[in-house]
Amino acid sequence: MTETRVLVVDDEPQIQQFLRVALGAAGYVVLQAATGAEALKLAATSAPDVIVLDLGLPDRDGKDVLQDLRSFSKVPVIILSARDREAEKIAALDLGADDYVEKPFGIGELMARLRTATRHAAAGRQEHSRLVFGDLVVDLERRLVTRAGEAVRLTPKEYQLLSVLARHAGRVVTHRQILTTVWGPAHHDDTQYLRVFIGQLRSKIEPDVSAPSLIKTKPGVGYRFAES
């Protein structure tokens, strides 16, 4: 049975330590991030099954992180926050959170909500973990990319870039969304840097690099990956 991967996003060391031990003892694989930038990178590259997200992060508000996350991922998100105002809960749920747990919290309640969130998402995750685009296959669960049955050797950044585009297949992903997710908020304007990586990725996955059919450029906006 595949282990469930939980990404815990919280800048409080005590919370991180407590959840690492408690969730690990319950059989979860625990990934950890202390900032919004780290959270988005791990969400894009490590394929967590569920995310536990604090709203009070040092670099960005958790609701902004959630909004960026929802631009490329449908992974279940449970908000874990000391903010108890109804308006905060409504805003987080409207942005795509699946549940909301207030601090201080009971580990039993959090475990139950984790089980519910992963159970509801299991069928959809199985359907979408293997994306097929002609002879190109992107297996997100195994982190494996093949073309015509042969493995495609990608650098970590190239894989992150492909993962973001493939998860958002058929829709335009903006330069800012891609740069923020793959390289972090500090690089959100580095469009020339992104073009270089797009060129490298095209050289490895496109049937004809001179006439790209998988990664389409939307001038001045971003890129759109072919529909699966």
Taking the C-alpha atoms of residue 160 and residue 157, their distance in angstroms, rounded to an integer, is: 5
CB 19 within 8 A of CB 52: yes
- Report pTM: 0.61
Which tokens belong to 123?
């069928």
Separation CA 204–CA 190 (nearest Å): 22
Count of residues making up the chain: 228
Give the count of beta carbons closer than 10 Å to the beta carbon of residue 161: 26
| Matching residue, tokens 């998402």 | 121
The distance from CA 70 to its chain's CA centroid, rounded to whole angstroms, is 8
Position 189 scores a pLDDT of 83
Distance CA(133)–CA(214), nearest Å, equals 8
Per residue of the chain (228 residues), give pLDDT as tens.
358 899 999 999 999 999 999 999 999 999 999 999 999 999 988 889 999 999 999 999 999 999 999 888 889 999 988 877 778 888 888 888 888 888 888 899 899 989 888 876 664 555 557 889 999 999 887 889 999 999 999 999 999 999 999 988 888 888 888 888 888 878 878 889 899 999 999 999 999 999 999 999 998 888 999 986
- In angstroms, the first-to-last Cα distance of the chain is 27
Question: Which domains does the chain possess?
Answer: 5-128 (3.40.50.2300), 130-225 (1.10.10.10)
As given in the structure block, the two tokens for residue 94 are 């409207």
